[in-house]
Amino acid sequence: MPRTPLAWYNLTHDRVRFALFVLGVVFAVVLMFMQLGFRGALLDSNSLLHEHVRADLVLISPNRSALPMREPFSRRRLVQAAAIPGVRSVHPLYIDNGAAVLRNTDPDRRRREASRAVRVVGVDPDAFLLDFPELDPSDPRYLGDRIKTPATALFDRKSHRDPDDPTRSIFGPLVEGARTELAGQGITLVGGFDLGPDFTSEGTLIVSSETFADLLRRPVTLGAPLADVDLGLIRLEPGADVEAVRDAIRREVARGSDGDPEVDVLTVPELVAREHRFWLNNTPIGFAFVFGMFMGFAVGTVICYQILSGDVSDHIAEYATLKAFGYTNRHLAWVVIQEALILAVAGYIVGLGVSWLAYDWLTEASAMPLRMTFGRALIVFVVTVGMCIVSGLIALVRLVRADPADVFG
Amino acid sequence: MASEPIPLTHAGYRPPPQGEPILRVRGVNFAFGTGEARTPVLFDNHLEVMPGELVIMSGPSGSGKTTLLTLIGGLRSLQDGEIEIWDGSIGAYRKLAGLDEEGLVGVRRLIGFIFQRHNLFDSLRAVQNVRLARELFPPGPDDAKQVEKLLTYLGLGERVLYKPHSLSGGQRQRVAVARALVNRPKLVLADEPTAALDANSGLAVVTLLQHLARERDPADLEKIVRRPGEDDEGGRIAPEQAAMIPELTREKGATSLIVTHDARIMNRADRIVHMERGKIVSNVVVAERLFVTEGLRRCAFFAAILPEQQQAIADGVCIGIHPDLPVKWADRNRYPGKLEVFAPGEAIIRQDDPVTDESKFYLIRRGKVRVERDNGDGHGVQVLAEIGAQDFFGDRALVTNEPRMATVTAADVVEVYTVGRETFRQYEAISRPFIERIQAVYGGLTFPPGTKIPGLPPIGGFGP
């Protein structure tokens, strides 16, 4: 005779009530997913460009805690790195973050808003430095050749949407063939790619290094406009030991004349982590969303406690009767904990589904990268289970106090 | 009650030693609250319940019945005194005094509780509510069938899958009864188990408890089975129910303590315990009371008084042990003024002893005595008779105030109920016509057994 699943029956015998219980937990789960999602999206959005970098190692100025900071280093370091054994190739990446203004050239003059700063990335179009199909020479969607033409650019199709017309960007019409002005000079948009906005830029243009130099550096930099690079991308020989090469670069290249490191040598994940660290430590994002998540936990705990405590109260006489028969507090506590787990799992499954849909919708609507990662799903599951168990444990106080003698007479 | 060991088939169960109770309550006091709010509710209660007894606890509301029951059931911690419950699985008594919560839980598992408020889980079907209690113990091979049979016997065969909200109050109560009995407990504590039941259902429950207690005369069962065409509500059980009893009650030895005001089940008790103001004021084994009353009625003196007076005298000498069970030799002096125990050859009264305030009337409970007289005619001592259980002697001298006419000696171990001279004087004083009538009967003479006196039953004694 299988054991009677009392916890399941107690929770589910009234279907409507059970649905409301689960909805309570779903609310908390979705709240936590959203907080984590926004936190992650805000962090992820700031590292979107980093994640597209195709390199084994990246040289970056040690003073550049975050990419939007203008802290270039000398191209000579990159050239020196090319001589290190194991290094196959080196490539400079130029980034102008917000200094260049893209003019809004909406044909409808009434809709032309103020011109806005845009991030511009200068690349070697043949080197496939950023992981976009439009820059992959082997991909049919390759558009790298087009930006070899001076004063041409690829635009970010996921640039910040126009709040009044979500089908358009805030820069006006970003379409292939559009003529506009960047930093006061005419350019032609020759294609698009998908990236998305972040904290400091509402859109991104990719241009060739030469266009970057012509439009953004030469007017303000005399002599060698490309002598300072923002990121140095290093690709290694097949089979080369990344750590060994990194040590060699640090030893032979990274030191400045005063002996202090002039460049940091990072892998792409380290670069991403560094960016996240900056935004977490220097902005309220971390606190705000962790607090938001805690609120989700607290709200969920209260909801769950109300459910379980109410359930214990409703059945206090029955539980006292079971105690009189010889059931121990431990056994009955397990019933309540099982109820908590059932609520946690049911609420989590539904909450996960709702959050997944919400992530998709928000990503689509806001262009923020809300990602349902396994790690995030696991964190919320563990927190949800913890939340329900904590509630169950609090509700147990009432159960433990149930006096079997009270059911007599 | 049978004096043979109660047959028990429960694997590993060991019954209490012969003559030992399944439940012993000694000097139990209890109070609610502490300090100035302390309210004593139980005072120096003593009780012994033998295996297989059906005990009814009666008394006015607030007399402490329920509190005592909760203490016996391990639902409250004892404050003063001791309660011992026989645990057949370990073959020893469990003492409740000083037990911690874990120990009390162990005691509770020995007991089947039937509560007036049945407290079934609304979320569970009838059969699941019963199974929940069964799951406290390791599963058996035919548990599911046993649960269904029990419910079927209790008239719920077609409602085993109903949830409590679809059952009537009486049906829910029967589910609670099944839940209490499903683990075949050897001690059942019940609070008004038949209060919500109709006559037929109440009878079915009590009959089940009776048959779980010990073997019963099949003829007694036959008397309560409904016959074709008989009124459905007449307090009868159905033939199908009667047919199920042997299988459901294969294991005997279940003792039941029932708090009830239901007059319908009073006459089925083996023992009636009456409480007033927190104290057990009477503890009567029905069979013993019947035994003593019948014995007294055979004596002309007692036959002449009113039945309720006979009853009062009987209750005054009853010791709370079924007459089929011997009193332990060690307890021979435990019942002064009620019962005396004599070794073989010991003289109980002697010929020519004068009547004093210490003289008594004797009703034989167990054993045999020899009645002898020396007529002084040189023929030596003459054995007049050998008499045994429910026979009596010593009445004539107390009525006539003449010396004892014969010597009475224990032939084997003899237990005798005793009624003091004071009781005789009390009834003499009540009614002059009564004493005149009695003296006419006794007349200072010795009557052979069976002598008929007009208006009185035959004289059963030998008048020493």
**pLDDT value for B443:** 61
Q: How far is CA A358 from CA A31, A172, A351, A366, B181, in A?
A: 11, 28, 10, 11, 55
Distance in angstroms (rounded) separating the CA atoms of residues A77 and A231: 11
The two tokens of residue A207 are 């241009």
Cβ contact, residue pair A6, B123, below 8 Å = yes
A315 touches A355 (CB < 8 A): no
Residue B433 pLDDT greater than 80, yes or no: no
The minimal CB distance from B73 to the residues A10, A320, A324 is found for: A324
Q: Which two tokens stand for residue B63?
A: 């007399």
Is residue A52 assigned to a domain?
A: no
Q: Do residue B94 and residue B235 come from a single domain? A: yes
Average pLDDT, chain B: 86
Say if A278 falls within a structural domain: no
Give the distance from residue A318's alpha carbon to the nearest chain B alpha carbon, in angstroms: 5
Q: How far is B113 from A286, CA to CA, in rounded Å?
A: 58
Question: What's the number of domains chain B is made of?
Answer: 2
Helices A285-314 and A329-366: crossing angle in degrees, nearest 10, is 140
Contacts of B163 in chain A (CB under 8 A): 13
What is the per-residue pLDDT for B230?
72
Using CB atoms within 10 Å of the CB of residue A108, give its burial: 0 to 12 exposed, 13 to 18 middle, 19+ buried.
exposed
- The 10s digit of each residue's pLDDT in A111-144 is 777 778 899 999 999 999 999 999 999 999 999 9
* Span between the terminal Cα atoms of chain A, in Å: 32
Query: What pLDDT score does B233 carry?
Result: 65
Q: Are residues A239 and A186 in the same domain?
A: yes
Pairing of strands B255-259, B187-191: parallel
pLDDT in tens, A345-360: 999 999 999 999 999 9
Mean pLDDT along residues A45-54: 91
Residue A253 has pLDDT above 50, yes or no: yes
pLDDT tens for A367-395 read: 677 889 999 999 999 999 999 999 999 99
pLDDT tens digits, one per residue of A151-179: 999 999 988 877 777 777 888 878 888 88
Do A41 and A61 sit in the same domain of this protein?
A: no
Lowest-pLDDT range, A252-261, B65-74, B340-349?
A252-261
pLDDT tens across A310-340, in order? 989 989 999 999 999 999 999 999 999 999 9
The mean of the pLDDT values for chain A is: 89
Judged by CB atoms closer than 8 Å, whether chains meet at B119 and A1 is answered as: no
- N-terminal to C-terminal alpha carbon distance within chain B: 33
Residue B244 corresponds to which tokens in the numbers above? 């199920």
Tokens at B204, concatenated: 């079915």
pLDDT of residue B457 exceeding 60 = no
Query: A305 is in which domain, residue-wise?
Result: 6-45+284-407
- List, in order, residues 6 or more apart from A159 with CB less than 8 Å away: A169, A170, A171, A174, A197, A202, A203, A204, A367
> Beta A165-169 vs A161-162: how paired, if at all?
antiparallel
Q: Read off the pLDDT of residues B292-325 as tens digits, 9 standing for 90 and up.
A: 999 998 888 888 888 888 888 998 899 988 898 8
Task: Tell me the CB-side half-sphere exposure of residue B387, using CA atoms within 13 A.
Answer: 22
CB contact under 8 A, B121 and A320: no
CB contact under 8 A, B139 and A1: yes
The yes-or-no verdict on residue B455 having pLDDT over 60 is no
Phi then psi for B269, rounded to 5 degrees?
-75, 150
With 0.90 as the threshold, say if the pTM is over it. no
Q: Based on the domain organization, do B234 and B270 belong to the same domain?
A: yes
Same domain, B233 and B345: no
Interface of A with B in 62-121 (CB under 8 A): none
Sign, CA dihedral A234-A236-A242-A248, equals negative
pLDDT-based confidence at residue B449 (cuts at 50, 70, 90): very low
Interface check A326 vs B, CB under 8 A: yes
Same domain, A92 and A208: yes
Residues in chain B with CB shorter than 8 Å from the CB of A409 are: 66, 116, 191
Instruction: Name the residue among B105, B117, B131 with its Cβ closest to that of A317.
Output: B117
pLDDT of residue B432 exceeding 60, the answer is no
Give me the percent of chain B exceeding a pLDDT of 70. Answer: 89
Q: Is the pLDDT of residue B459 over 70?
A: no
Cα distance between residue B399 and residue B29, in whole Å:
43
Question: ∠ CA B337-B342-B343 to the nearest 5 degrees?
Answer: 160
Asked if residue B116 has pLDDT above 90, the reply is no
In this structure, the answer to whether residues A15 and A86 fall within a common structural domain is: no
Interface test with A, best of B66, B75, B120, B134 (most A CBs within 10 A): B75
Cβ(B41)–Cβ(B61) under 8 Å?
no
Q: What is the pLDDT of residue B10?
A: 54
Residue B439: is its pLDDT beyond 80? no
Phi, psi dihedral angles at B95 (to 5 degrees) = -95, 130
Final residue belonging to a domain, choices B235, B250, B276: B276
Residues B268 and B329 in one domain: no
- pLDDT tens for each residue of B398-426: 888 889 989 999 999 999 999 998 888 88
Range of the domain at B219: 23-110+185-276
Q: How far is CA A227 from CA A209, A223, A237, in A?
A: 12, 9, 25
Q: Is A315 on the interface with B (CB under 8 A)?
A: yes
Please report, rounded to a whole number, the percentage of residues in chain A having pLDDT higher than 70.
97
Give the integer Cα–Cα distance in Å for A31 and A29.
Answer: 5
High-pLDDT (> 90) share of chain A, %? 56
Considering the domain boundaries, does residue B381 fall inside one? yes
Is residue B3 in a domain? no
Residues A73 and A22 occupy one common structural domain: no
- A68 in a domain, yes or no? yes
- One DSSP character per residue, A165-225 reads EEEEETTB---TT-EEEETTEEEEEEEEE-----SS-S-EEEEEHHHHIIIIITTT--S-T
How is residue A407 written in tokens? 């059911």
| Same domain, residue pair B384 and B304 | yes
Q: Confirm whether A214 is domain-assigned.
A: yes
| Same domain flag for A64 and A39 | no
CATH code of residue B455: 2.60.120.10
pLDDT at site B267: 81
Q: Each residue of B426-454: b (16+ CB within 10 Å) or e?
A: ebbeeeeeebebbeebbeeebbeeeeebe
pLDDT per residue as tens digits for the range B212-254: 998 888 888 888 888 877 766 667 889 999 999 999 998 888 9
User: Which position has the token pair 């059980």?
Assistant: B237
Mean pLDDT is lowest, of B11-15, B34-38, B100-104, for: B11-15
ipTM higher than threshold 0.90: no
pLDDT band at B461 (very low <50, low <70, confident <90, very high): very low
Instruction: Choose the final residue of a domain: B276, B299, B320.
Output: B276
Taking contacts as CB-CB distances below 8 angstroms, the residues of chain A near B75 are: 324, 403-405, 408
Between B264 and B191, the higher pLDDT residue: B191
A 185-204 residues with CB < 8 A to B:
none
Which among B75, B101, B120 has the least Cβ separation from residue A405? B75
